[in-house]
Amino acid sequence: MSSEDPSEHSVHGSEHASAHHDESHVPNPFIQQMTGLFQQIVQNVIPTNNGDARESITIEKLKKNGASIFFGKRGDTPEVAEFWLEQTARVLEDLQVPIADRPRHAISLLQHGAYDWWKSVLLRPDLPRPVTWDYFQARFIDQFVPAWYQEERKRQFMDLTQGSMTVAEYAYEFLRLSKYAPDMVRVEADKCRKFEYGLNEEIAGQVVTLRHVSFTLLMGAAQSFEGWRRRKTSRGTLSYSAPTRNSTGKRHESGKGKSQSRYNESSHAKSTSGSNKPRPPGSQAKSVPLCSFCGKHHVGECRKASGACFRCGQMGHMLRECPLLVTGDASSAPVRPTQPPQRSQQTRCDTLKI
């Protein structure tokens, strides 16, 4: 029977313990695989997506998002070219196209005369390689938005006033033209002073003392006063209507019915005796005039003033004595034009006056 050396046994025991300890720290193969896969995603997937996004920018996609083809026709105004450049820049910005790629996509939208112009630009000695976005915009503006046009718009901005425009309309024109005079609006306070200077006097007097240094707040204050003034004017017009007087001097107020008062014939005759003369031919107004004697609208001589019958228009009797009331036939006796009062009737009127 062999005996074991205690020292050998202790050595083997320590080796087993060490081996067991090392096995507990061996990484799990599944975890290693997932870690490697995650690293691959971080390193490969993101660059691949960026590359795909750049390649997916086509003319159709640009047009779908608001861009358009620019032909550079002879009749195109600077406004057309200016709008195209601004809209194209906006679409490229919205699609997050890198700055370095924007010239290439903008050039793809040039056709006919516009593309012929660009081919001439490629021959310039100052052409950068590659073409930068700033260079493309500068050359495009030089060609299609000339300096004389920009100077004209700058003068329009300097002379701009509100006039008959609303505050909102004035602000729209102010902002649209301000890009042609950047030095005048670069500082917010200077921008506010220029806007105040162009406001109508009544509105400017209300906001200029506030010394706004924010254009948004200034425009809001001007619009608030404009709205308050409009409401005040509307309320004043609807709540009160000044009484008017007709040709007889009688007051008429809106909302009231016709006057129920009647004048006495004798007092009427005294107050207007000799004032109603026959009108010469052709002097009749186009609309039915208001009689200054009886206060009613009619043409011809006033029967109340002449004493003619109100029914048949003949002289010599009053309405209650009219023979047509007896016969009841108004069509059997034609109404003759009113004649000037006869001498006998004048005598009758003179008797009444006495």
Task: Split the chain (354 residues) into runs of 10 and give each run's mean pLDDT.
Answer: 49 49 53 58 44 67 92 88 94 93 94 93 92 94 93 94 93 94 92 93 88 91 90 67 48 45 45 50 56 74 76 77 65 50 49 45
Q: Give me the pLDDT at residue 315, please.
A: 78
Q: Give me the pLDDT at residue 325, please.
A: 73
Q: Give me the pLDDT at residue 2, please.
A: 47
> Do 98 and 54 meet the contact criterion of CB atoms below 8 Å apart?
yes
Q: Give me the pLDDT at residue 198, please.
A: 92
All residues at 6 or more sequence positions from 42 whose CB lies less than 8 Å from its CB, including other chains: none
Q: Give me the pLDDT at residue 313, please.
A: 78
Q: Give me the pLDDT at residue 291, please.
A: 75
**Bridge partners of residue 70, in order along the sequence:** 110
Q: Give me the pLDDT at residue 271, please.
A: 47
pTM: 0.47
Count CA atoms closer than 13 A to 198's CA, side-chain side: 28
Q: Give me the pLDDT at residue 23, please.
A: 47
> Do 261 and 298 meet the contact criterion of CB atoms below 8 Å apart?
no
DSSP H helical ranges for 4-126: 6-23, 29-40, 46-55, 59-64, 78-94, 102-107, 113-121
